Structure 1
Amino acid sequence: MKIEQIYTGCLAQGAYYITSNGEAAIIDPLRETQPYMDRLKKDGVTLKYIFETHFHADFVSGHLDLSKKTGAAIVYGPNAAPDFEFISAKDNQVFEIGNIKIKVLHTPGHTMESTTYLLIDADGNDHAIFSGDTLFLGDVGRPDLAQKAASMTQEQLAGLLFHSLRDKIMTLADDVIVYPAHGAGSACGKNMSKETVGSIGEQKATNYALRANMTEEEFIKEVTDGLLPPPAYFGMNVAMNKKGIESFENVFNNGMKAINATEFEVVAEETGALILDTRSNGDFAKGYVPQSINIGINGDFAPWVGALIGDVKQPILLVTDPGMEEETVTRLTRVGFDNLIGHLKHGFQAWLAAGYDVDTVNRITAEQFANEVKIGESKIIDVRKESEYESEHVEEAYSRPLAAINEWIKDINPEEHFYLHCAGGYRSMMAASILQARGYRNFSEVEGGFNAIAKTNVPKTDFVCQSKVLKV
């Protein structure tokens, strides 16, 4: 028996590849299937089942492409009703893969179809669970994402989750391994550990939601407290995972079309495409194609694309560093942004060489900020998360999280100058690009963000540990 966790950092997502005696199973596969096909060929095994823990909201699964290429059956737990052929597993149903077994544990609460898969080894011992978004390390799945589909309140779903955890998972032996679908950084929970593998015993001892003697009322209150609004693309990804999608290869080939600088501007105007520049925030500040939005590939790229662009059907043209086209297109397809028209051939330098207009961002250093700013008079906008802001911030700064920019941008006075910063420059450049695309030019963005500002003499509030701020 072999279990391989295939962890994708930019999504904080874990897929699982399991083999035993010539047969294989894959749990929660990513959209691009070639890496799985390569593993199957290398190991000389046949893919028998593709198990899905639930209808994912934060990424598009590769279950359909993988099933078409291998003939493997797609398995969901109870209550799932997708628009394609699948096996609707019953609670406690057992599937055999080689010498091992996978037992279905229906664990509703995150969603109604949420299912945990228990792996039973060749000796008949409970070995591991693949807990999807039901149980994370340090947290549990948020119960607010499936309210409309389930016609239930988040409190009612949280109540189901309470019983799923205590009746199905906490009854397992302490040495059973826990393989969750996500780790720290995912929007599917609020307090996940950076670790990606744990055990039932560890979680009983450390996970706030698995406390001994915890009442259902206490659980519901704590699990629903402090939930941030889900990213706009979540509902669209759920629909794509239920209804079916275009093949990864077709979408990939569209995104890989190289468009020269002369045609690029014409295509942008004809299609109404959003120009997405994935270069570093430093390079973007120095020069970019006018009206571009900057979301750097070297960061939480795909989740931020989903949060800020939102509509997965939005036509997109790409500007990347040369050689990064394939990586960028792949990451976009993972979160369902399939309307990719192509990318600027040879990148931004080709645009410069063609002599077209270039825009820039007014970026200043932290030292310049310290010399210019007048606390109490100057307007300062901090686009970090509220928890970051509350832990420590520049005195008199306004908290305006990037994720909510569409709400607070309308309150900006275009005649009043302000300073803009995040933690290190990644998020504030996203905000700067959106502001300038909408006609706001009255700001200075601070290079290095709060991390750099903290090293100057600019007055700051006293530091408060973020775990206390989060109240979990």
Structure 2
Amino acid sequence: MKIEQIYTGCLAQGAYYIVSENEAAIIDPLREVKPYLDRLEKDNVTLKYIFETHFHADFVSGHLDLSKKTNAPIVYGPTAEPDFEAIIAEDNQIFKVGNIKIKALHTPGHTMESTTYLLIDENGVETAIFTGDTLFLGDVGRPDLAQKAGTMTQEDLAGILYESLHSKILPLDDSITVYPAHGAGSACGKNMQKETVDILGNQRKTNYALNQPDKASFIKEVLDGLTAPPKYFGMNVAMNKGGYDSLDDVMTKGLNPVSVEDFESFAEETGALILDTRGPADFHKGFIPNSINIGLKGDFAPWVGSLIVDVKHPLLLVADEGSEEEVITRLSRVGFDNVLGYLKGSFNSWKSSSKETDEVKRISPTEFVEQFNEDSKIIDVRKFSEYSAEHIENAYNKPLDSISDWVTTIDDSEHFFLHCAGGYRSMIAASILNSHGIRNFTEIEGGFNGIKKTEKLPTSDFVCQSKTL
């Protein structure tokens, strides 16, 4: 028997590839299925089942493409109602894969169809659980996505999650390995540990949610401090439940090199958003007016989902040459399939054609310290938890993920400085501000981390960040 965790850091997502004898199973596959097909071919095994722990909200699963390419059936837990053919498992139903068994344990709470899969090895020993978003390391799945459960409130869902954990998972042996669907950095939980694999016994000791004295305390603690889920979550659920275009077709459509002249016309005719995926250091020096910068080398896909939201919105790309395929792939992971093409020759071709360009004024932390005075206005776009931990005195906290709510409140007649932690998010914010005609600001390279190293500006008293979550 072989178990492989296939972890994608930019999404903090874990898929699982399991082999026994000449058969395999895959749990929660990512959108692009070639890595799984390559593994099946290399191991000379047949994919018997594709298990889905639930209808994912934060990414588009590869279940449909993988099923079409392998003829393996898709398995969901009880109460799931997908718009395509699938096996809807009964609670405690057993599936055989080679010499092992996989048992479906219905564990609703995060969603009503959420299911944990219990692996029983060749010797009949319960060995591992694949918990999806039911149980994370250090946390449990957020139960506030009530729109997925009709009229149920988040308190109702949290109570159901408590019962699932205590009736299905906690009775299992301490030695069982826990394989979750997500790790630290995912928006599906608030207190995840950095590790991606653990044993259940250790989670009993370290997971705050498993150490509550009763259901009421569990509900209170699990719901406390949850931020609003990203707005694209509902659209990803709809795609996972209702179906989507083949990734092969998405790639064929998106990998369309467009000349400068056609790119400009295309943008005007279609109303497409120009998404510039170059790094902040390149973007600030010059970009196409009204384009939005979300750098590929960062938490690219989640920020696209959080800020653009509408997965059907047409996109035109400006990307570093050679990165176009990766950009389109990572966009597809969160459902943004409507890429119309990319600028041939990247920004250099636009610049060489003498088309109009724009730029963001960016200064170093040292220059910021030199320009700073008691009347300086500062906007800090980090998360509230980061801001609460430590910030420049009198700085305003306006988190990037809520920029659509505050961008219209900015007074462009008053200059301000803009920063995040390291410069990635502040450049995203800068591009959005520019697109709204707000230009009277200066972005700080290196962000708060760089500013702090100068040791020349007053900062707030340190607050333990864990207490602000």
Instruction: Classify the TM-score, shorter chain.
Output: over 0.9
C-alpha offsets along residues 322-370 of structure 1, whole Å, 9 cap, x if unaligned?
1111111100000000111011112111111111111100111111211
Q: 2:443 matched to which residue of 1?
A: 445
- The answer as to whether partners of 1:78 and 1:91 remain within 8 angstroms in 2 is yes
Q: Residues 367-386 of structure 1: matches in 2 within 5 Å?
A: 367-375=366-374, 377-386=375-384
1:256 Cα offset (Å): 0.9
Amino acid at match of 1:406: S
Moved over 4 A (4+): none
Using the aligned pairs only, state the percent identity.
Answer: 67
In 1, distance between residues paired with 2:392 and 2:165? 42
Q: CA deviation at 1:150?
A: 3.2
Q: Distance in 1 between matches of 2:148 and 2:177?
A: 33
Query: Is residue 285–residue 360 contact of structure 2 (8 Å, CA) maintained in 1?
Result: yes
Tell me by how many angstroms 1:147 deviates.
Answer: 3.6
The aligned counterpart of 2:215 is 216
Structure 1 segment 32-111 matched on structure 2, within 5 A:
32-111=32-111
Give per-residue Cα distances to partners, 1:389-420, cap 9 Å, x unaligned.
Answer: 00000000011000000111121112111111
State the alpha-carbon separation in 1 of the partners of residues 93 and 303 from structure 2: 38
The equivalent of 1:351 in structure 2 is 350
Q: Distance in 1 between matches of 2:100 and 2:127?
A: 10
Tell me the residue number matched to 2:235: 236
Partner letter of residue 95 of structure 1?
A: F
Letter in 2 for 1:396: N
The CA deviation at 1:468 is 2.0
Q: Distance in 1 between matches of 2:367 and 2:214?
A: 53
Query: Over aligned residues, Cα RMSD in angstroms?
Result: 0.9
Structure 1 unaligned regions, length at least 5:
none
Contact 1:26 1:50 in 2 (8 A): yes
Q: Distance in 2 between matches of 1:236 and 1:426?
A: 26
Q: SS where residue 299 of structure 1 aligns?
A: coil
Deviation at 1:146, TM superposition (A): 3.3
Q: Partners in 2 of 1:273 and 1:149 — Cα distance? A: 34
Q: Is the 8 A contact 2:417 2:444 kept in 1?
A: yes
Separation in 1 of the partners of 2:194 and 2:38?
Answer: 28
Residue aligning to 1:17: 17
> Residue by residue, what CA displacement relative to the aligned partner does 1:284-340 show, whole Å, maximum 9, x if unpaired?
000111111000001100000000000001100011111111111100000000111
TM-score of the superposed pair, with normalisation by structure 1: 0.98
Report how far residue 148 of structure 1 moved.
4.9
Query: Which residues of 2 match residues 16-415 of structure 1 at below 5 A?
Result: 16-211=16-211, 214-375=213-374, 377-415=375-413
1:112–1:150 CA contact under 8 A, matched in 2: no
Rounded to whole Å, the distance in 1 between the matches of 2:316 and 2:2 is 41
Contact map agreement 1:147 1:154 (CA 8 A) in 2: no
Kindly indicate whether the alpha-carbon contact (under 8 Å) linking 2:114 and 2:134 is maintained by their aligned counterparts in 1: yes
Q: Residue 111 of structure 2 aligns to which amino acid in structure 1?
A: T
Query: Which deviations, in whole Å up to 9, do the C-alpha atoms of 1:97-129 show, x marking residues without a partner?
Result: 000000000000000000000000000000000
Alpha-carbon displacement from aligned partner over 1:265-297 (angstroms, at most 9, x marks no partner): 111111110000111101000011111100000
CA contact (8 A) 2:65 2:246 kept: yes
Once residues 400 and 52 of structure 2 are traced to their aligned partners in structure 1, the CA distance between those partners, rounded to angstroms, is 32
- Give the TM-score normalised by structure 2: 0.99
Structure 2: where are the runs of 5+ without partners?
none
The amino acid of 1:337's aligned partner reads F
Partner amino acid for 1:173? D
What is the aligned residue count? 468
Amino acid at match of 1:317: L
Letter paired with 1:100: I
2:145 aligns to what SS in structure 1? coil
AA of the residue aligned to 1:139: D
d(CA) in 1 for partners of 2:146, 2:252: 33
SS in 2 for 1:269: helix
